[in-house]
Every structure is written in C-alpha cells, then in structure tokens.
C-alpha cells in the first residue's frame, strides 16, 4: 500500500515538470535566435544548404541519429566554402541570395550531403560484415565449450533432459524402473 503511494507520487512529480524547459535551455534558445537574426545572411545560407540534413534526421529510423550526423558533417563541408565566401565579401543579404540562386552552389552543398549518405551506406555494410564474422566465431566458441561441458558433466547440463523439482534427471529414473 505504501509502495503504491510512492510510485504514484513519483509519477505525479515527473508529470509536473514535463514540457518545461530549464532556464539554461531557454537562455541558449534565446541566444541562438538572436544570433541567427544578427547574422541573417549566414542563417539563410545554412538553412537552405542544410536541408538534406534535416530530411535525414526526420527519416532516420534507428533513433541514434547516425545517419543525420554523417550526412550533416558532409553537408556542412559542402556549405562551408560558400559561407566563407559570404563572410569574406561583405556578409550582405544580396550576396547570400545571389549565391543561393546559383545552381552550382546548391549542387555543391547537396553533393556533400550525397557523399555523406554514400559513406553511411557503405560503412554500414562493412560494419555489418565485421559484426557477423565476429559473432559467428563467438557462436562456434560457445558451441565447442558446450560440447566440452557435456563430455565432462553429462547430458544433463545441456537442458535436453527433463529434471525433477530437486534437479535430478527424470530420464534416467524412467529407464532404470
């Protein structure tokens, strides 16, 4: 009875603060918004250039975010030359819009994301092959160890023999009777 009250109290406590961001998170979010407004030209270039990363984050079904991280890193690498060019040439809104209207800019930015996708796809296959090899070897080792234990202790250790409540094999008792 007391245990149920404690569980209910914990659930109620968890539910109270749900959906509320701590003040540090709010501060970071407000700072990010202010910085993105102060550097609007860079923000627009990055938002448009990093759209494939956003799509990868939405589509990633693993829940680990590895697809978005891989694509995002290469996508950012594709965006960086144009971002640096924007910074070096006055950092003006007209220049940023002009860059984005150039098809070459979009192709380079999105090609970086495509390279990230290829890297993720190819390395997933390599990692899968290595893991399959590793665990098939592990299964072989376990199988050998089971055979050794069966030779040493008998068939009862395999789990194939039915045991009575005291742990004695029922199969032997029925054969001798």
Percent of the chain scored above 70 by pLDDT?
A: 85
Query: Considering only 17-21, 111-115, 154-158, which range has the smallest mean pLDDT?
Result: 17-21
Average pLDDT of the chain?
83
State the average pLDDT over residues 97-119. 92
Q: What is the pLDDT of residue 62?
A: 78
Q: Given a cut of 80, is residue 151 above it in pLDDT? A: yes
The residues, any chain, with a CB within 8 Å of residue 141's CB and separated by 6 or more, are: none
DSSP bridge partners of 133: none
Structure tokens at 160: 């194939």
The residues, any chain, with a CB within 8 Å of residue 114's CB and separated by 6 or more, are: 52
From residue 107, give the alpha-carbon distance in Å to each of 31, 54, 91, 166: 31, 17, 21, 73
DSSP bridge partners of 169: 163
Q: Where do we find the tokens 């960086």?
A: 80
Q: Given a cut of 50, is residue 173 above it in pLDDT? A: no
Q: How far apart are CA 47 and CA 53, in angstroms?
A: 10
Q: How far apart are CA 44 and CA 47, in angstroms?
A: 5
Q: How far apart are CA 99 and CA 22, in angstroms?
A: 38
Confidence band (pLDDT; 50, 70, 90) for 166?
confident
At 58-107, the pLDDT tens digits run: 888 877 778 889 999 999 999 999 999 988 988 788 888 888 899 999 99
Helical H segments across 1-102, by residue range: 2-16, 23-38, 40-49, 51-59, 66-88, 93-101
Q: What is the pLDDT of residue 51?
A: 92
Q: What is the pLDDT of residue 115?
A: 95
């Amino acid at each position: 009875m007391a245990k149920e009250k404690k569980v209910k109290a914990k659930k109620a406590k968890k539910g109270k603060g749900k959906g509320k961001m701590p003040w540090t998170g709010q501060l970071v979010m407000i700072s990010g918004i202010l910085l993105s407004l102060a550097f609007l030209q860079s923000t627009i270039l990055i938002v448009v250039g990093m759209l494939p990363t956003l799509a990868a984050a939405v589509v990633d079904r693993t829940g680990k975010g590895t697809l978005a991280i891989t694509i995002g890193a290469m996508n950012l690498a594709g965006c960086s030359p144009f971002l640096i060019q924007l910074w070096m040439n006055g950092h003006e809104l007209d220049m940023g819009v002009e860059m984005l209207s150039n098809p070459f800019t979009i192709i380079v930015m999105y090609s970086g994301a495509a390279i990230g996708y290829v890297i993720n796809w190819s390395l997933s296959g390599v990692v899968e092959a290595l893991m399959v090899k590793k665990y098939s070897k592990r299964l072989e080792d376990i199988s050998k160890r089971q055979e050794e234990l069966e030779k040493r202790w008998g068939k009862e250790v395999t789990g194939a023999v039915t045991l009575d409540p005291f742990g004695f094999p029922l199969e032997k008792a029925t054969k001798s009777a």
